[in-house]
Structure 1
Amino acid sequence: MFEVSDTQKIGVGLAGFGVFFLFLGVILLFDKSLLALGNILFIAGLACVIGLERTFRFFFQRHKIKASIAFFGGIIIVLVGWPLVGMLFETYGFVLLFSGFFPVAINFLRRVPVLGTVLNLPGLSKLVDKLAGDSNRTTV
């Protein structure tokens, strides 16, 4: 196993609060202050978990620049005051940026006792397989 530093623990908390505030901002009809706070906390948490240099390298890779522009552009649009349009851009950028993690996350969720049973139900199984992609490629 690996050791988790105090900074990484704080980062997980910041990212968790960021996701919570983003969710709350969407539920409360796209409240721009909650969305802005959620965005800032999520980015700060990510930087604390993986480090500033790795965060910068992740967002500004040559093949991810379009996704990064959409993600950060969406954050700026939310901060300017158009939360619905900003969240659309941000969601598009988020899906492009983190689509490589979806198969790993889905395969992990399939191993969780109760949730794995739900994800393997006949109707959901095909949808989850489509989201997971090629199972041979993402086996851990």
Structure 2
Amino acid sequence: MVWFAVVRRFSEEEIGVGLSGFGVFFVLFGILLYFDSVLLAFGNILFVSGLAFIIGLRRTAHFFFQRQKLRSSAAFLGGVALVLLRWPRIGMLVETYGFVLLFKSFFPMAFGFLATALNIPFLTTLSGSSSSMV
């Protein structure tokens, strides 16, 4: 009797979300461990590769190299390069500046989503809010 393993094939977007999630985890863990350059570099590489898996290589290149985003892309990628060259504190400062400039148009949408997520009845009972749905 032959046993076959059932293997689920993941889509590129699912792999990208996983890579980006691990990238954010490693960056936060690297910051927590007093700017460990190896963890920060690994997290940066995972985050950027996850972004490329999620939206594709061509769209990633188009996102980073738009004319109006060149300064912020240079800051972000320069910060990644500084972290890879083992200057983690300066690299993370430069990278954070570039990240904020790159994703500043995304922040209002993310904050709006968080505001609506706080109105979910299950979450409001967990948070201890006294507002009711009735």
Please report the TM-score for the alignment, with normalisation by the length of structure 2: 0.81
Match of 1:136 in 2: none
Match of 2:72 in 1: 67
Structure 1 residues 34-88: Cα deviation after superposition (integer angstroms, max 9, x where no partner): 0000000000000000000000000000000000000000000011111000000
1:6 and 2:15 are equivalent in the alignment: no
Match of 1:106 in 2: 111
Q: Find the aligned partners of 1:27 and 1:97 in 2 and give their Cα distance.
A: 24
Q: Find the aligned partners of 1:76 and 1:49 in 2 and give their Cα distance.
A: 22
Match of 1:18 in 2: 23
1:33 and 2:38 are equivalent in the alignment: yes
Which structure's CA Rg is the greater one? 2
Give unpaired runs (5+ residues) of structure 2. 1-9, 128-134
- Larger helix proportion, structure 1 or 2? 1
Give unpaired runs (5+ residues) of structure 1. 119-140
Structure 1 residues 103-132: Cα deviation after superposition (integer angstroms, max 9, x where no partner): 0011011111237xx8xxxxxxxxxxxxxx
Q: Which amino acid aligns with 1:45?
A: G
1:88 and 2:93 are equivalent in the alignment: yes
Q: Which amino acid aligns with 1:107?
A: G
Which portions of structure 1, spanning 4 or more consecutive aligned residues, are displaced by more than 2 angstroms? none
Q: How many pairs does the alignment contain?
A: 114
Structure 1 residues 4-58: Cα deviation after superposition (integer angstroms, max 9, x where no partner): x701100000000000000000000000000000000000000000000000000
Q: Which amino acid aligns with 1:32?
A: S
> 1:92, CA displacement in angstroms?
0.1
**CA-atom RMSD in angstroms:** 1.8
Match of 1:78 in 2: 83
Q: Find the aligned partners of 2:12 and 2:75 in 1 and give their Cα distance.
A: 28
Q: Find the aligned partners of 2:12 and 2:68 in 1 and give their Cα distance.
A: 29
Q: Find the aligned partners of 1:94 and 1:75 in 2 and give their Cα distance.
A: 11
